[in-house]
Amino acid sequence: MARRKIVAGNWKMNKTPTEAKALVAMLAPLVKSDDVDVVYCVPAIDIVPVVEAVKGTNVKVGAENISDKDSGAFTGEISGAMLKDAGVDYVIIGHSERRDYYKEDDAFLNRKVLKAFEYGLTPILCCGESLAQREAGVTIDWVRLQLKSDLIGVTAEQAASMVIAYEPIWAIGTGKVATTEQAQEVCHAIRELIAEIYDADTAEKIRIQYGGSVNGKSAPELFAQPDIDGGLIGGASLKEDFGKIVNYK
């Protein structure tokens, strides 16, 4: 059974609600696809207008973060229940920007992954190495450690339904895409890890994205790799080019 590709935009901290509606309208004719899942992961304040704007289309909406708590005195946080009720289907967890700038560690991210499943949201769990780690030859060890920690307590059935995004930190926002071989090698190692933690069937089902300076030009070759099931797209998700990435074939 072939895995369905999934192309998700990570808007990061871009677009006001008004701008978000305009972007959805601009992209609408470009992102139609029968065989690729398309997701816009948007800032919290854009969720409600974007859910409204994509109604009746093939586009699903994701959040960029989720609280590890259910409700209560956690100023500034957004709960799984709030996301679900607002019409969100996916949530990015463990993006390197949150790991680095906001010091989110694997134990914390593990709680967020479990919380997402509790509320019926599909995690897009990110992992990836720094340039120093790649140069030191510890990329695969590092990514394995991140994922093993982040997936503690996640069942095989849950894992099979989720998305992992491999994003080398040195390729994010730098215009420096990993080579196809580098991206495939790590995505393959991730699939092997999933087979090790769970079983071959779960590894066959889980979807693994590559992220880091993907654009309309680089997408076709990357997405043709056997273990790359789509992309998590930053900069290019805010432009017409996102349509090219979705319709990469």
Residues 160-219 that bind ligand 13P (CB under 6 A): 167, 172-173, 211-214
Residue 52 is a catalytic residue:
no
10 is a contact residue toward ligand 13P (CB under 6 A)? yes
Structure tokens at 80: 């799984």
Candidates 19, 157, 167, 185; catalytic one: 167
* Cα(172)–Cα(153) distance, integer angstroms: 29
Closer Cβ to ligand 13P, 55 or 103, answer by number: 103
Candidates 64, 95, 97, 129; catalytic one: 95
CB of 4 to ligand 13P, least distance (A): 20
Residues 6 or more apart whose CB falls under 8 angstroms from that of 71 comprise: 79, 81
Q: Torsion angle, CA of 178/180/185/187, rounded to 10 degrees? A: 80
CB of 56 to ligand 13P, least distance (A): 27
51-59, 180-188, 190-198, 227-235 -> range binding ligand 13P (CB under 6 A)? 227-235
Residue 64 is a catalytic residue:
no
Structure tokens at 199: 């079983």
Of 234, 242, 246, 248, the one binding ligand 13P (CB under 6 A) is 234
**Secondary structure (DSSP) of 8-70:** EEE--S---HHHHHHHHHHHTTTS--SSEEEEEEE-GGGHHHHHHHHTTSSEEEEES---SSS
Binding site for ligand 13P (CB under 6 A): 10, 95, 167, 172-173, 211-214, 232-236
* Positions marked active-site: 95, 167
